[in-house]
């Protein structure tokens, strides 16, 4: 068993020989017993002993793999029972609540970043682009009937023409209303 890789190949080879012998035995089953015995005697006695030993090792390996499979199945069964009883669910719920908190924090951070970005866009990118006059505050400007004022959170920027208003909307990305 210490030379496992080599032994496995031997076991497989010998197992194939055993299958071949059994096939020959099945074919000669209806024949007299003497023919069946000649199949066994065709192999040297040493090889037959090796085959028996290798067959035992093969059964040990198979038995060991079955026990490992049983351990694995038992472990899965315990996990399933734990889920049914709610033991594992509590751990999952605590993990879920931590994940939810993390997601909420991420959303808040993203919202803050978005708002800051929007404010930066609003404060930095607003330009009339047509050379029209504008004021930072509606109170600073002398408003005519044709003046347009940005209503975003009290921005109060004023553009003196509708063309400027359209440009304001594009740059600022906020709704601009007529006063």
Residue by residue, pLDDT tens for the chain (179 residues) are 445 566 677 777 877 887 777 666 554 455 555 444 445 555 555 666 777 777 777 776 666 666 667 777 777 777 777 666 655 455 556 667 788 888 888 877 776 666 655 544 443 333 444 444 444 444 444 444 445 555 444 555 555 454 444 444 444 444 444 43
Please state, in angstroms and rounded to a whole number, the distance separating the CA atoms of residues 60 and 166.
84
Q: Give the pLDDT of residue 17.
A: 80
Q: Which H or E run includes 103?
A: helix 87-125
The backbone torsions φ and ψ at residue 148, rounded to the nearest 5 degrees and listed phi first, read -120, 140
Q: Give the pLDDT of residue 173.
A: 42
Q: Give the pLDDT of residue 52.
A: 74
Q: Give the pLDDT of residue 4.
A: 56
Please state, in angstroms and rounded to a whole number, the distance separating the CA atoms of residues 175 and 114.
17
For the chain, counts of helices (H) and of strands (E): 5, 4
Please state, in angstroms and rounded to a whole number, the distance separating the CA atoms of residues 176 and 143.
15
* 156-165 contacts, C-beta under 8 A, 24 or more apart: 157/126, 158/134, 159/128, 159/132, 159/133, 159/134, 160/132, 160/133, 160/134, 161/130, 161/132, 163/130, 163/132, 164/128, 164/129, 164/130, 164/132, 164/134
Q: Give the pLDDT of residue 45.
A: 58
The backbone torsions φ and ψ at residue 159, rounded to the nearest 5 degrees and listed phi first, read -120, 140
**Is the Cβ–Cβ distance between 176 and 150 less than 8 Å?**
yes
Count of positions (residues) in the chain: 179
Q: What are the strands of the beta sheet with 148-150, ordered from one edge?
A: 134-135, 158-159, 148-150, 176-178
């Amino acid at each position: 068993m210490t030379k496992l890789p080599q032994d496995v190949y031997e076991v497989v080879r010998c197992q194939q020989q055993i299958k071949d012998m059994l096939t020959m035995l099945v074919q000669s089953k209806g024949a007299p017993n003497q023919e069946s015995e000649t199949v066994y005697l065709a192999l040297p006695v040493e090889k037959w002993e090796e085959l028996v030993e290798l067959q035992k090792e093969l059964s040990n390996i198979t038995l060991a793999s079955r026990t490992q499979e049983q351990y694995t199945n038992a472990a899965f069964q315990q996990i399933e029972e734990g889920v049914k009883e709610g033991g594992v669910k509590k751990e999952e719920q605590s993990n879920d609540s931590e994940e939810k908190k993390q997601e909420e924090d991420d959303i808040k951070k993203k919202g803050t970043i978005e708002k800051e970005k929007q404010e930066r866009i609003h404060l930095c990118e607003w330009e009339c682009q047509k050379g029209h006059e504008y004021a930072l505050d509606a109170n600073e400007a002398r408003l005519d009937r044709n003046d347009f004022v940005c209503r975003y959170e009290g921005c109060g920027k004023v553009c003196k023409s509708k063309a400027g208003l359209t440009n304001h909307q594009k740059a600022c990305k906020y709704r601009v209303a007529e006063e």
